[in-house]
Chains A and B, each alone.
Chain A
Amino acid sequence: MATNKEIIIQHKLVEAAKRKPKMFKRLYEMFHNDIFYFILNRCHDEHLAADLCSKTFLKAMINLPKYEFKGLPFSAWLFRIASNELNLFYRSNNKNRDVSIEENVLPEIIEETEFQYSEESIDLLLESINGLDLEEVELLELRYFEKRSVKEVSGILGMSEANVKTKTHRVVKKLGKIMKAKSEK
């Protein structure tokens, strides 16, 4: 999560880029890798990720005059554009959405669903994620799989911080219920 000083520097760079689009290069270099991996985690294809990443920055440059500073890091706005680009891609190609989970976050999420960590519960978790909506999966990805702060998630999804906390809690509860129902079958 960016500090206040970093956020102010980013804001100054944004203002400079609004006046002169070539100045966007600094912001591009600052956030390219973050956006690239954000997309790669959601599409599992390096070339597609690079393509969507370029589209994200192009859209950001085009819409930069409309960007309004709200005290959040500039990256939150970029992540939101990237997320919209990904959703657009999956919707227009009618493909299943890719989800990446890091191995080391599995025990935490399984514990949250009140299950014991085991091979069986991992399979159960992976199966149960299919019972969630896209918005719920996005919340899980951001909060648990990528370990982003509530403030950052609220900036990316355009929700209030309280709403992010409540919804995340509900998603984990729902996931636990699905897992329980599947384990009883």
Chain B
Amino acid sequence: MKEQKKYNIKIKSGSSNPKKADSHKDFEKVYSAYSSWVYRHPWYKAQLHMPRYRKVFMYVLLIVLISYLVYEAIQKEQEMEKAQQEQVDSIPK
């Protein structure tokens, strides 16, 4: 059985012509494609930070949030204690 041809092999002689590549060089085309891609994917801006930094940022946010909730709870408890104390103090002996 004849072996299946997987590749089209071409033998080249001589060096490549740099003018051939230069004629296809067009950054504006790539940039406009990029701009329209960004326009179609608005959430892309949120990804602009590296994942590592995003993770650190999430941890900091979480710690701040938990600290705020704990602080609020402590404040509320102190206020309640104070109110109770005032109520107790207002009772004539």
Contacts and interface: CB of A to CB of B under 8 A. Distances in A.
Interface of A: 18, 21-22, 24-25, 28-29, 32-33, 36-37, 40-41, 44, 46, 49-50, 53-54, 57-58, 61-62, 65-66, 68, 96-103, 106, 122, 126-127, 129-131, 137
A18 B48 CA distance: 8
Contacts of A37: 16, 21
Interface of B: 3-13, 16, 18, 20-22, 24-27, 29-31, 33-34, 37, 44, 47-51
Given A54-B30, A130-B3, A131-B3, A101 B12 contact: yes
Contacts of A50: 24
A122 B29 CA distance: 42
B49 A65 contact: yes
B54 to A, nearest CB: 10
Contacts of B12: 41, 100-103
Contacts of B34: 21, 58, 61-62
B57 to A, nearest CB: 14
B13 A28 contact: no
Contact of B37 (A40, A58, A65): A58
Given A58-B37, A65-B49, A102-B12, A97 B31 contact: no
A129 B7 contact: yes
Question: When A and B form their complex, which 6 residue pairs have the shortest distance between CB atoms, in order from nearest?
Answer: A50-B24, A33-B21, A36-B21, A103-B13, A61-B34, A98-B8
Contact of A96 (B7, B27, B48): B7
Q: Is the interface of A mostly helix, strand, loop or mixed?
A: helix
Contacts of B6: 96-97, 130
Contact of B11 (A22, A24, A98, A103): A103
B38 to A, nearest CB: 8
Nearest to B16: A37
13 contacts: A18-B48, A33-B18, A36-B21, A53-B24, A58-B30, A65-B48, A66-B51, A96-B8, A97-B8, A98-B9, A101-B10, A102-B11, A102-B13
